Structure 1
Amino acid sequence: MKKVADILAVKSRSLVSVAPETTVLDALKIMADNNIGSILVLSGEDYRGLLTERDYARKVILKGKSSTDTKVMDIMSTDLPHISPDSSIDECMQLMSVNNIRYLPVFKGDDELVGIVSINDIIKAVIANQAATISHLQSYIHS
């Protein structure tokens, strides 16, 4: 089964991030401009958390807060499980399912942020793996 490193190898290398003091509205604009559903929150080079569309919907909209007055640090998710490039796709699916989350930050070692994987990335990897298995089985049957 594929590893997280395989997913990161085909994804864009640029990590999109904002500072914790950024307004939610500005972060949402950056997310829209990059067509992404989450954004890393970094203080300098240090990972602080992740802001997702779900955070926005549940912690701003449903609570009647203002996107222009609320800071990213006030609503970001900070307790997400960390994975490594060596983590398996199965491990990611398990973590996402158990924690009811759609994004996982990827760290090399204890603190070097190297990327983020989404549930969409995981689904694509599973589908590609199944397609390869089907192709191999068909080749085996026809040979």
Structure 2
Amino acid sequence: MAQLVRDLMTADPVMLPPDTPVREAAKAMRDREIGDVLVVDGDRLCGIVTDRDLVVRALADRDDLADCYVRDVCSDQVVTADLTETVDTAIARMRENAVRRIPVVDGGRPVGVLSLGDAAVERDLDSVLGQISAAPGNN
């Protein structure tokens, strides 16, 4: 039987409104030891911000982050996976769109995040990505 996204995803994602300062997003990533936060307006997914987005779209371009918000740095063309679709389908979509993480939705409402690391830990722990993803954080 095919494995479903809901079986591998990280549930309870950090979700922040678009007007959240990027510094708060960075702190949330640090505190939860994650590399992304979802940007939501109510229950509607508006975007995703990754640790790379913070570096490339915020830190590299600004001397002062006081007026920089997640809406300014998020990817707003979000590729998603449905809670009940197969992991293979979601991974194929990630490959097609060159993304490492994909928000998981249930009826359009965000409920989790599936990362390539999640899949590697479950499916190929002996791979380099599986070993790195399974290792404790270094912060």
TM range (shorter): 0.7 to 0.9
SS in 2 for 1:79: coil
Find the counterpart in structure 2 of residue 114 from structure 1: 111
Deviation at 1:61, TM superposition (A): 2.5
Find the counterpart in structure 2 of residue 14 from structure 1: 12
Find the counterpart in structure 2 of residue 91 from structure 1: 89
Deviation at 1:65, TM superposition (A): 5.0
Find the counterpart in structure 1 of residue 5 from structure 2: 4
Alignment TM-score, normalising by the size of structure 1: 0.76
Alignment TM-score, normalising by the size of structure 2: 0.78
SS in 2 for 1:77: coil
Find the counterpart in structure 1 of residue 123 from structure 2: 126
| Aligned-residue CA RMSD (Å) | 1.8
Distance 1:121 1:29 in 2: 22
Deviation at 1:25, TM superposition (A): 0.9
Find the counterpart in structure 2 of residue 82 from structure 1: 80
Give the number of equivalent residue pairs: 124
**Seq. identity, %:** 27
Find the counterpart in structure 2 of residue 63 from structure 1: 61
Distance 2:61 2:74 in 1: 15
Larger helix share, 1 or 2: 1
Find the counterpart in structure 2 of residue 104 from structure 1: 102
Deviation at 1:29, TM superposition (A): 0.7
